[in-house]
Amino acid sequence: MKGAQAILETLHRGGVDTIFANPGTSEMALVRALDDTSTVRAVLALFEGVVTGAADGYARMAGKPAATLLHLGPGLANGAANLHNARRARSPVVNVVGDHARGHLALDAPLTTDLEGVARPFSKWVKTIGEPADAGHDTAAAITAATSLGGPATLIVPADVAWSEGAQPVTPSPAATAVQPGQEIIETAARLLRSHGQRAMLLLGGGALGEQGVAAAARLSTATGARLASETFNTRAARGAGRVFIPKVPYMAEAAEAFLKDVEVLLLVESRSPVNFFGYPARRGTPVAPATLVVPVAQPGEDGLWLLHALCSACGATQAPASPAATSPERPAGPVNAMSLAAALARQLPEGAVLCDESITASLALPMVWTAAAPHDQLDVMGGAIGGALPVATGAALGDPSRRVVCLSGDGSALYTIQALWTQAREQLDVTTVICANRSYAILAYEHLQIEGRPPGPRALPVLSLDRPVMRFVEIARGFGVEAVSVDTAEALDDALAAARNRRGPFLVEAVMAPMTLPPKGT
Ligand SMILES: Cc1ncc(C[n+]2csc(CCOP(=O)(O)OP(=O)(O)O)c2C)c(N)n1
Ligand SMILES: [Mg+2]
């Protein structure tokens, strides 16, 4: 069998049945192999950032790796920002990246790069296949690495390795099961929970925020009084009515400090001790109070759910909290802003929806959605590289086609990877995209004020505003084959989201919002 066939067959044996692709000449043998084996489905995306972000979203919803097919160093580099996000999400992604035929590399043809060098910062594992005979084995190793290490594994395939005979598929060994924290740390954590009551906080991340983890955390909080919180960004968090409310550590440094200031003991469950996203003049880098005792109980990638269950046993936490009375927000009225957006979503999010959020300043009232909307899963872009949500939503819809995906994006963020809409149209994915069109990089105007002590002036403002010319998202969406409406009142937004609930296929709502007005410095 040819190297390319062995790679696809090994992916299939490893449970990888979807490959998000943007190929080129060096991947032609791999493209051809799609015709030889009907086991792996290729999904074309029109920019590599969509390829890598979709693989991230797919992996998060399907609970198994997705593959990508990318074209040499430049193709991989185009996908790097969302690979960075996937790495931060610990999403198992297997990158299959074509390189020049081995004999061609020395000629330094135009697309030649240090491909391993491009891959390394964005991957947890990198290997170039040496010979066709290694193709199956190396592909299996990449799958095992992506799942065991939690993150992108990059397999570089010289074109002649792919087109040559002499390869055979390999069945990957199962991924190592997540490590269970030791008895000693469980006893320490249980003792701290009992002795510190409400001054203890369980900070949840990763798999600890699944439905069962959230339920176990709720029992622990009921039994011990501990506060619950999640990291600022979450890979997949079970939220919505009937589930305990787990606030996020706020993004803004000052708000995060206030949120954490009374915490005596911070117990980390698949999370990291919070740090501010950026350094600011005259501000500490972490919002955790200096006196707080920080105890890593389960590291990211360890079995946080198992740990929460063990803590429940140790603390006798058997009692679920009383379900908060269901609240249904009033139909919002007036302008579209963060509050009315949250109210409309809380009312109209379909049960079991997947809510992908990159709405930046428009996300400020989303806690209302997490408490009042029908039960749903919420997915964040994990690495702070914007342009993640539309691709993640696209992959999420393929990773679990039974659920409607609702993707909230800032207008600026959406435009990095707007061509994800075309893949949604081609694959007829059940995704509703809501563009929060404030026609600015509003968060950056806020950050300017925080760092420089004054709002941007007339020469600086044009690099933070998106209003000249105004972008017309309805026309952009239709151009990619996605039906769309524009709304500029909360009532119309509520109606549009109601209409989107039971739609099949993609839909886009441009929600025209007032540009964010800057709060006075220090608030
Ligand atoms: C890849 C990448 N490029 C640039 C940035 C810097 N950045 C952070 S937020 C932002 C603007 C976001 O604008 P938008 O999505 O419209 O949200 P808004 O701030 O208006 O709510 C930019 C450019 C980034 N985080 N990642
Ligand atoms: Mg904006």
Distance from the CA of 75 to the center of ligand 2, in angstroms? 28
Query: What sign does the CA torsion over 262, 265, 266, 269 have?
Result: negative
Which of 440, 441, 512 is the best mutation target for the ligand 1 pocket, counting ligand atoms within 8 Å of the beta carbon and taking the most?
441
512 in contact with ligand 1, CB cutoff 6 A: no
Average pLDDT, the chain: 96
d(CA 523, CA 227): 25
CA distances, 305 to each of 77, 249, 309 (Å): 35, 20, 6
pLDDT single digits (tens) 467-509: 989 999 999 999 999 999 999 999 999 999 999 998 999 999 9
Kindly state the DSSP code that residue 285 receives in the 8-state scheme: S
Which range among 123-137, 197-211, 320-334, 399-413 shows the weakest confidence by mean pLDDT?
Answer: 320-334
Rg of the chain over CA atoms, in angstroms? Answer: 24
CA distance 197 to 110: 63
Asked if residue 410 has its Cβ within 6 Å of ligand 1, the reply is yes
What's the rounded mean pLDDT across residues 22-48? 96
Nearest to 380 by CA among 362, 349, 358: 358
Which pLDDT score, from 0 to 100, does residue 523 have? 42
CA angle, 450 as apex, 448 and 453 as ends, to 5°?
Answer: 80
For residue 309, the SS3 value is helix
Question: 298 CB under 6 A from ligand 1?
Answer: no
For atom 17 of ligand 1, which residue has the closest CA? 410
Strands 483-487 and 376-380: unpaired
pLDDT of residue 517: 53
| Band (522; pLDDT cuts 50, 70, 90) | very low
Q: Which of 360, 382, 471, 518 has the most ligand 1 atoms within 8 A of CB, as the residue to mutate?
A: 360
- CA nearest neighbour of 42 among 23, 26, 29: 23
pLDDT digits (tens, 9 = 90+) for 204-246: 999 999 999 999 999 999 999 999 999 999 999 999 999 999 9
Amino acid present at 489: T
413 CB near ligand 1 (under 6 Å)? yes
Whether residue 76 has pLDDT greater than 60: yes
Q: Which ligand is nearest to the CA of 418?
A: 1
Single out the residue of 185, 161, 212 nearest to residue 26, CA to CA: 161
Residue of 105, 93, 39, 35 lying closest to 66 (CA atoms): 93
For residue 70, what are the β-bridge partners? 97
Which residues make Cβ contacts (< 8 Å) with residue 164, sequence separation at least 6?
Answer: 2, 3, 132
Query: What is the value of pTM for the model shown?
Result: 0.97
Which ligand is in closest contact with the Cα of 438? 2
Stated length of the chain: 523
Whether the CB of 162 sits within 6 Å of ligand 1: no
- CA–CA separation, 493 and 168 (whole Å): 55
**Which residues surround the ion ligand 2 when the cut-off is CB under 5 Å?**
410-412, 438
Alpha-carbon span 155 to 142, nearest angstrom: 7
Read off the pLDDT of each residue in 93-107 and give the average, rounded to a whole number.
98
The pLDDT of residue 179 is 94
For residue 82 and ligand 1, the question of a CB distance below 6 A is answered with no
DSSP annotation of 386: S
Which residues fall within 8 angstroms of residue 112, CB to CB, at 6 or more apart? Answer: 72, 73, 100, 105
State yes or no: pLDDT of 325 exceeds 80.
Answer: no
Q: What integer pLDDT is reported at residue 194 of this predicted model?
A: 96
Query: How many angstroms separate the CA atoms of 152 and 288, rounded?
Result: 30
Handedness of CA 58, 82, 177, 298 (dihedral sign): negative
| Ligand 1 near 218 CB (within 6 A) | no
Q: Tell me the per-residue pLDDT of 439-464, one tens digit each, with 9 for 90 and over.
A: 999 999 999 998 999 999 989 999 99
Give the ligand whose atoms come closest to the C-alpha of residue 447: 1
pLDDT tens digit sequence for 351-410? 999 999 999 999 999 999 999 999 999 999 999 999 999 999 999 999 999 999 999 999
Spell out the SS3 assignment of 418-444.
Answer: CCHHHHHHHCCCCEEEEEEECCECHHH
What is the mean pLDDT of the segment spanning 282-305?
97
Residue with tokens 């039971």: 502
358 Cα: distance to centroid of ligand 1 (angstroms):
9
Query: Of all protein residues, whose CA lies closest to atom 23 belonging to ligand 1?
Result: 441
Q: For ligand 1, what atom is nearest to the CA of residue 362?
A: 21
CA–CA distance from 506 to each of 91, 187, 425, 434 (Å)? 24, 49, 6, 11
Number of the ligand 1 atom closest to the C-alpha atom of 443: 19
Q: Give the number of whichever ligand sits closest to the CA of residue 412.
A: 1
Distance of CA 344 from the midpoint of ligand 2 (Å): 19
What is the structure's pLDDT at 176? 86
For residue 337, the CA-to-ligand 2 centroid distance in Å is 12
441 Cα to the center of ligand 1, angstroms: 6
Q: Is 272 left (phi over 0), alpha (psi -120 to 50) or beta?
A: beta
Contacts for 67 with CB less than 8 Å, ≥ 6 apart: 11, 16, 18, 19, 20, 40, 55, 93, 94, 95, 96
Contact, 93 vs 57, CB < 8 A? no
What is the rounded CA–CA span in Å between residue 484 and residue 496?
10
pLDDT of residue 37: 83
pLDDT digits (tens, 9 = 90+) for 253-270: 999 999 999 999 999 999
Helices (H), 334-414: 338-348, 367-372, 389-399, 411-414
Please check whether residue 324 is in contact with residue 371, taking contact to mean a CB–CB distance below 8 angstroms.
yes
Residue 338 Cβ inside 6 Å of ligand 1? The answer reads: no
More confident residue, 325 or 166: 166
Cis amide prior to 469 (ω within 30 degrees): yes
